[in-house]
């Protein structure tokens, strides 16, 4: 059918190809440009004379003797302890993903196997909770957390992010478990398993595709978060995203912007790899929510 | 599943949501009724060589003590909601009475912090959502026509703007539109105006933020629509072709009706996400020209020296009311579907 369409309407085919090329340019160019620019000095990446300098690296050669420099990376990772933020991000995302998935699989499974009315209401409540702007919730936490003296720790942020993530996780896993036939666990129960044993021995072995997809989105939520981590963590415990924001506070100093640029590129790399390997799961995850929601 | 088993399975998840989502909502409503303590003032007499003078000083110890005893602050009723930084009833009344015409009245209202943020938030939601849906749909149609070998790489590149951390994505664009950056310099050259800066004027900042929002969210709509396109029934499409429908007519009368549930879904998610727009304003450093509801809450909490809990909580409550108005049609629809099914 594709071939037929293009034969009938070559103008349309040309137009749509041009459109795609334009879109790909818009989508990819900012990343390529920033990646390239992160190896230059500030005078080139923000060139007063000519933006072509960022390509040729005129000032970079003048200042460092070579067309590429790792100064920005050195400044961010070594001088400004960006490695510490990277470790913090690692800890936060790891625990958020693991805990979210544990809670989510149990809850999502229960919701998919219950025919009572309250299961429906829990899902609706989750939908409403999904719509809450995160910063409004943060403004509810801050004062109690100060009073309880639990403000500023990674563990607090992890728990908060797990909770914020629950509505989405529940919905995703609920619709995934719905697609696993009831007969499977029910026959295990006929054979004498308790509900939990049936879950452990029959459902857990077949649930990994759904769990991996949901896990990817939990990872993205924890990794990309700014509202929670910027307000609930102390300076030393900052994760990467608020750390980058704090680089910007001191942009006046020559070279400091390049620290932020390199930090941004560094923080983008894991996301890049994630899409590279899990593209299919991400696409199927976005669609699963759409088809069932 | 019996109630008891259900309860144990759902408990961790429900507890997490109850404690960290439902309780905070109660917490902000309560906090919004209180306001920070006034500082405790004491009058001290200073006696020097030139006689005695009375002076009013802040009693730091007593203030701290009061703060510790009543951390919420003092009860303020609804006064926080009506003050200048929120609904500003007095200011609006005064503007209504004094402004010569509607334009001036609107201008005065939009200079109040809450209405300024509200107007940008609504404009952002109203502009970005339809653009994202239309663009995403067009890209999905175009990608669907590509040979299958190219589809994978094209989808990979298309996902990038969506997957990127919002703050990082906005920073990347912000640096490019800097007047010394690649896009900023190009625009200056095109407009032949070396003083032109996208950051300087309010309308240009708004447009920049809209463009960022569309760039960031279009991939989501694209992916959902693209997946939907794979399920368009072949038979219907072929009969439409036999009946002589043009490409446009096939899209209009076969594809679009088939995708309409997805349209609603994408629209709903986009409304929720765009209404909480926040990171781009930090990333684009745009607060001078554009603020959003989320941003003013953040600013109350982190911008000033001491966090203004009462003010932030009042804005949060108003934001939640906004969200619930946005969600009402969806909920009513779900409720109707649910009761019809019995």
Contact A279 B21 (CB under 8 A): no
| A287 and A264 Cβ atoms separated by less than 8 Å | no
CB atoms within 10 A of CB B194: 10
| Co-location of B92 and B152 in the same domain | no
**Domain total in chain B:** 3
Q: Could you tell me which chain B residue has the CA closest to the CA of A217?
A: B163
CA A8 to centroid of chain Cα atoms = 42
* Three-class SS state of B46: strand
Q: Each residue of A237-271: pLDDT tens digit?
A: 899 999 998 887 665 566 678 888 999 999 999 99
| Co-location of B217 and B103 in the same domain | no
| Co-location of B53 and B100 in the same domain | no
pLDDT score, position A166: 94
B334 pLDDT above the threshold of 80:
no
CA A195 to centroid of chain Cα atoms = 34
Average pLDDT for A102-112: 93
Average pLDDT for B54-66: 78
Contact B165 A116 (CB under 8 A): no
A108 pLDDT above the threshold of 60:
yes
* Three-class SS state of B78: coil
Chain A residue numbers touching B145 (CB-CB < 8 A): 2, 5-6, 13, 16
More confident call, A3 vs A273: A273
| Co-location of B178 and B295 in the same domain | yes
Euclidean distance between CA atoms B251 and B232, whole angstroms: 11
Query: What residues are paired with A52 via a beta bridge?
Result: none
Q: Which domain holds residue B142?
A: 117-341
* Three-class SS state of A152: strand
| Co-location of B226 and B263 in the same domain | yes
pLDDT score, position B44: 78
Q: Each residue of A155-184: pLDDT tens digit?
A: 999 999 999 999 999 988 988 898 888 888
- Choose among A9, A30, A34: nearest Cβ to B247: A9
* Pick among B10, B19, B245, B259 to test the A interface (most A CBs inside 10 A): B10
Average pLDDT for A219-234: 92
Average pLDDT for A105-119: 89
Average pLDDT for B107-125: 92
Within a domain: residue B9? Answer: no
Put simply, whether A216 touches B (Cβ < 8 Å) is no
ipTM score of the complex? 0.89
CA B98 to centroid of chain Cα atoms = 32
Minimal CA–CA distance to B298: which of A57, A108, A142, A103?
Answer: A142
Put simply, whether B265 touches A (Cβ < 8 Å) is yes
Within a domain: residue B18? Answer: no
CB atoms within 10 A of CB A264: 27
| A186 and A167 Cβ atoms separated by less than 8 Å | no
A272 pLDDT above the threshold of 50:
yes
Residue-averaged pLDDT of chain A = 86
Contact B9 A107 (CB under 8 A): yes
Contact B302 A283 (CB under 8 A): no
A290 pLDDT above the threshold of 80:
no
Average pLDDT for B81-101: 86
pLDDT score, position A64: 81
| Co-location of B175 and B208 in the same domain | yes
Minimal CA–CA distance to A108: which of A180, A10, A41?
Answer: A180
Chain B residue numbers touching A213 (CB-CB < 8 A): none
Put simply, whether A290 touches B (Cβ < 8 Å) is yes
CA B273 to centroid of chain Cα atoms = 6
| Co-location of B44 and B99 in the same domain | no
- Choose among B219, B247, B302: nearest Cβ to A5: B247
Euclidean distance between CA atoms B136 and B153, whole angstroms: 17
Average pLDDT for B83-102: 86
Chain A residue numbers touching B175 (CB-CB < 8 A): 34, 37, 45-46, 257, 261
Contact B297 A135 (CB under 8 A): yes
A143 pLDDT above the threshold of 70:
yes
Contact A135 B180 (CB under 8 A): no
- A214 vs chain B: nearest CA distance in angstroms? 14
Please say whether the structural domain A86-292 has been given the CATH code 3.40.50.150.
no
Put simply, whether A170 touches B (Cβ < 8 Å) is yes
Contacts of A222 (CB under 8 A, 6+ apart): A92, A93, A96, A97, A161, A165
Q: Could you tell me which chain A residue has the CA closest to the CA of B194?
A: A48
Write out the DSSP string of A205-263: HH-HHHHHHHHHHHHHHHHH--HHHHHHB-TTT--HHHHHHHHHTTTTSTTHHHHHHHH
- B92 vs chain A: nearest CA distance in angstroms? 25
| Co-location of B83 and B121 in the same domain | no
| Co-location of B184 and B261 in the same domain | yes
Contact A51 B17 (CB under 8 A): no
Contact A290 B227 (CB under 8 A): yes
Average pLDDT for A183-208: 89
Within a domain: residue B175? Answer: yes
| Co-location of B181 and B146 in the same domain | yes
Put simply, whether B143 touches A (Cβ < 8 Å) is yes
Within a domain: residue B23? Answer: no
Average pLDDT for A213-219: 91
pLDDT score, position A1: 45
Within a domain: residue B327? Answer: yes
CB atoms within 10 A of CB B83: 19
Q: Residue B316: which CATH number?
A: 1.10.3720.10
| Co-location of B86 and B212 in the same domain | no
- Choose among B172, B224, B319: nearest Cβ to A136: B319
* Pick among A23, A31, A58 to test the B interface (most B CBs inside 10 A): A23
Band (A293; pLDDT cuts 50, 70, 90): very low
Band (A80; pLDDT cuts 50, 70, 90): confident
Q: Could you tell me where the DSSP H helices lie in chain B?
A: 3-17, 23-32, 60-69, 79-82, 89-98, 102-110, 113-144, 148-163, 166-177, 182-191, 202-229, 234-242, 247-250, 256-275, 279-283, 293-298, 309-341
Within a domain: residue B62? Answer: yes
Put simply, whether A13 touches B (Cβ < 8 Å) is yes
pLDDT score, position A223: 94
DSSP secondary structure code for residue B47 in this structure:
E
Contact B163 A220 (CB under 8 A): yes
**Minimum mean pLDDT among A113-127, A225-239, A278-292, B205-219: which range?**
A278-292
pLDDT score, position A5: 47
| Co-location of B107 and B127 in the same domain | no
| A144 and B1 Cβ atoms separated by less than 8 Å | no
Euclidean distance between CA atoms B86 and B88, whole angstroms: 5
Within a domain: residue B281? Answer: yes
Within a domain: residue B29? Answer: no
DSSP secondary structure code for residue B100 in this structure:
S
* Three-class SS state of B6: helix
Which positions 211-230 of B are in contact with A (Cβ < 8 Å)? 215, 219-220, 223-224, 226-228
Q: Each residue of B278-305: pLDDT tens digit?
A: 999 999 988 888 999 999 999 998 876 7
Chain B residue numbers touching A105 (CB-CB < 8 A): none
């Amino acid at each position: 059918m594709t071939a037929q369409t293009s034969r009938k309407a070559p103008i349309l085919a040309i137009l749509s190809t041009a459109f795609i090329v334009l879109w790909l340019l818009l989508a990819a160019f900012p990343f390529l440009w920033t990646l390239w620019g992160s190896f230059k000095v500030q005078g080139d990446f923000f060139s007063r004379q000519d933006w072509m300098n960022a390509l040729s690296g005129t000032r970079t050669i003048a200042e460092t003797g070579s067309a590429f420099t790792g100064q920005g990376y050195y400044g961010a990772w070594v001088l400004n302890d960006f490695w510490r933020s990277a470790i913090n991000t690692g800890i936060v995302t790891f625990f958020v993903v693991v805990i979210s998935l544990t809670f989510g699989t149990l809850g999502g499974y229960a919701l998919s196997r219950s025919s009572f009315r309250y299961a429906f209401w829990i899902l609706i409540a989750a939908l409403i909770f999904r719509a809450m702007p995160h910063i409004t919730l943060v403004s509810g936490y801050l004062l109690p957390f100060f009073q309880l003296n639990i403000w500023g720790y990674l563990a607090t942020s992890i728990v908060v992010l797990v909770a914020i993530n629950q509505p989405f996780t529940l919905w995703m896993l609920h619709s995934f478990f719905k697609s696993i036939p009831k007969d499977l666990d029910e026959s295990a129960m006929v054979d004498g398993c308790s509900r939990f044993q049936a879950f452990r021995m029959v459902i857990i072995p077949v649930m990994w595709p759904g769990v991996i997809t949901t896990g990817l989105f939990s990872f993205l939520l924890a990794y990309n978060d700014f509202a929670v981590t910027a307000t609930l963590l102390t300076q030393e415990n900052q994760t990467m995203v608020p750390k980058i924001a704090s680089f910007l506070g001191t942009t006046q100093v020559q070279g400091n912007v390049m620290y932020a640029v390199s930090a941004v590129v560094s923080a983008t790399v894991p996301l890049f790899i994630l899409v590279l390997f899990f593209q299919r799961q991400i696409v199927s995850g976005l669609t699963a929510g759409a088809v069932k929601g | 599943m019996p109630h008891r088993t259900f309860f144990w399975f759902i408990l961790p998840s429900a507890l997490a949501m109850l404690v960290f989502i439902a309780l905070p909502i109660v917490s902000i409503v309560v906090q919004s009724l209180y306001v920070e303590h006034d500082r405790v003032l004491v009058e001290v007499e200073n006696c020097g060589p030139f006689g005695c003078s009375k002076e009013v000083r802040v009693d730091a110890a007593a203030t701290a003590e009061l703060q510790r005893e009543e951390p919420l602050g003092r009860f303020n009723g609804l006064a926080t909601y009506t003050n200048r930084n929120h609904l500003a009833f007095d200011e609006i009344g005064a503007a209504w009475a004094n402004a010569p015409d509607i334009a001036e009245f609107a201008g005065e209202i939009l200079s109040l912090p809450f209405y300024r943020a509200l107007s940008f938030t609504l404009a952002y939601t109203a502009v970005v959502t339809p653009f994202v849906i239309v663009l995403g749909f067009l890209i999905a149609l175009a990608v669907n026509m590509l040979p299958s070998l190219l589809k994978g790489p094209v989808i990979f590149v298309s996902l990038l703007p969506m997957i990127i951390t919002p703050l990082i994505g906005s920073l990347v664009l912000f640096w490019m539109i800097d007047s010394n950056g690649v896009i900023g310099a190009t625009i200056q050259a095109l407009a032949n105006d070396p003083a032109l800066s996208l950051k300087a004027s309010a309308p240009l900042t708004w447009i920049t933020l809209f463009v960022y929002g569309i760039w960031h969210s279009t991939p989501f709509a694209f992916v959902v629509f693209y997946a939907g396109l794979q399920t368009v029934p072949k038979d219907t499409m072929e009969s439409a072709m036999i009946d002589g429908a043009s490409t446009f007519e096939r899209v209009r009368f076969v594809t679009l009706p088939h995708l309409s549930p997805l349209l609603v879904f994408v629209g709903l998610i986009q409304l929720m996400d765009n209404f909480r727009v926040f990171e781009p304003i930090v990333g684009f450093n745009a607060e001078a020209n554009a603020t959003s509801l989320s941003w003013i809450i953040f600013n109350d909490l982190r911008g000033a020296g001491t966090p203004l809990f009462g003010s932030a909580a009042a804005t949060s409550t108003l934001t939640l009311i906004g969200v619930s108005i946005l969600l009402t049609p969806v909920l009513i629809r779900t409720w109707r579907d649910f009761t019809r099914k019995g």
